[in-house]
Structure 1
Amino acid sequence: MNELRVVIADDHHVFRMGLHKLLDSVPGISVVGEAADTAATVAAVVEHDPDVAIIDLHMPGGGGVEATEQIRRAEVRARVLVLTMHADHAMVRQAIRAGARGYLLKDAEPDEIIRAVHAVHANQAILDSAVADRMFAALADTNPANPFPQLTEREFDILARMAAGQSNPAIAARLGISPKTVQNHVSNVLLKLGVEDRAQAVARARDANVHRPT
């Protein structure tokens, strides 16, 4: 029986080591490569030709969604299992649209991760139960006030204004706060959404149909 070959992509070395050790302990699974950024992830998948690529979404160089898109375009056999801490439905949609076959949170039990690897290898769609619950709740709400509950009301307002194309000085003038305060809020938004820059935050907001203020 051929071994199930896996590449692990995560920019946190300790987490990557732990996952490597877990998977190597499973008969029939072999970790053949690791990566810590987007470019290295794609290169590792092309070089090692794994059956499954386990990818975190928040990595330097573009992130896991970008890596997943590049892997799909490379037309390799690897199927992508996203393993991340981000549970909001907008990020899930982006990952699935990019080509991910599974989406699991990092607090999943070891047995869940192993089952997900096998399922994705078998071309089965896997969605973390906590993520599924949040997506059902979002779909059931016909007028969601805030699709990003991790953001404060002020942070969400600023994100919506960013999505509307407003600059930091314009936002500051509109809200009656200093540009420095706006920049601090923007930094918090990027951190909480798990994105690297303003453009990615705006893309997330627009994908979630965030209301554009006037």
Structure 2
Amino acid sequence: MDISAVAPIRVLIADDQRLVRRGLQHILCASPGIVVIGEASDYVGITQVLREQPCDVLILDIAMPDKDGIEILHLLKKREPMLRIMVLSSYGPEQFAVRALKAGAAAYMTKDSTPDELLEAVRVVARGKKYISQNLAESLANHVIHEDELMPHQQLSNREFQTVRMIASGQTRTEIAKNLSISPKTVSVYRSRVFEKMGVRTNAQLTHYAIKHGLLDSVSAWTI
């Protein structure tokens, strides 16, 4: 088969760190059959590129500045259900993989993956399949086997989980309401549910839990 006759895989890179985006672009563009159609550092940037360019695979970070990566997953899958989304995160699979896959991700990879693993995942996902690495498979198996032993934060809904991360990163009720497009009263409801489910009484206790279990971005943790 003439390789030149095969349409290239069109990839959009979404990460809030410019160096990461450039590194990914370098890896992807060096591989035959893959082209990077654009970069984005936030949700607005992602939607803008998608309006202007057809895309086969979106590589998405969890830690985005405007909306949480899981929330972006939900929004994009509603807008473009056929879009194939790979999550590439600094968080281990035990922290976010299950949530990402349930939200519609076709793959979950960590940033310590090798370039070859990344390229293989892009090709697999572009074919409409899910890419499950050995580490992720083990994590998913443990999640199923020990589902009755889940940590408190693993039993939260996605919106409750987002609220935890935002409170722990120092955001006010008004800021959380704005970021999640809900009312401050609804934020208070989520906060009450979170406190009850996690057995904490104050924001300080919640923040301590979030830092201890690696639920915050490194930048957020240092700015608390």
TM-score (norm 1): 0.70
CA distance in 2, matches of 1:68, 1:39: 13
Once the two structures are TM-superposed, the CA of residue 42 in structure 1 deviates from its matched residue by 2.5
Offset of 1:186 from its aligned partner?
5.9
For 2:98 and 2:150, how far apart are their aligned partners in 1? 19
What is the distance in 2 between the residues matched to 1:104 and 1:130? 9
Paired residue for 2:215, among 186, 193, 207? 193
Calculate percent identity across the aligned residue pairs: 28
Paired positions, count: 176
**Is 1:87 matched up with 2:92?**
yes
Closer/same/farther in 2, CA of residues 114 and 163 from structure 1, 3 Å limit: farther
Q: CA deviation at 1:164?
A: 3.8
Structure 1 counterpart of 2:12, one-letter code: V
Structure with the bigger percentage of helix? 2
Q: 1:182 aligns with which of 198, 205, 212?
A: 205
Q: Return the alpha-carbon distance in structure 1 between the equivalents of residues 76 and 31 of structure 2.
A: 25
Residue 11 of structure 1 corresponds to 16
The one of 160, 166, 171 aligned to 2:201:
171
Aligned partner of 1:73 among 68, 73, 78 = 78
8 Å contact kept, 2:10–2:37 = yes
TM-aligned CA deviation for residue 145 of structure 1: 5.7
Query: 1:29 corresponds to which letter in structure 2?
Result: I
Q: Does residue 1:112 correspond to 2:102, yes or no?
A: no
Report the residue type matching 2:215 in the other structure: L
C-alpha separation between the residues in 2 aligned to 1:36 and 1:43? 11
- Output the CA distance in 2 between the equivalents of 1:119 and 1:146: 32
From 31, 53, 60, give the equivalent of 1:55. Answer: 60
The 8 Å contact of residues 38 and 66 in structure 1, kept in 2 or not, is answered as no
| 3-state SS of 2:87 partner | strand
Partner AA of 1:113 in structure 2? L
Contact 1:6 1:50 in 2 (8 A): yes
Deviations 1:106-144 (CA, angstroms, capped at 9, x unpaired):
111100000000000001111232222122123222542
Give the aligned partner of residue 146 of structure 1. Answer: 151
RMSD: 3.1
Partner of 1:130, secondary structure, is helix
The normalised TM-score by structure 2 is: 0.67
Q: What's the secondary structure of 2:149's corresponding residue?
A: coil
Verify the 8 A CA contact 1:49 1:76 in the aligned structure 2.
no
Instruction: Give the secondary-structure state (helix, strand or coil) at the position aligned to 1:50.
Output: coil
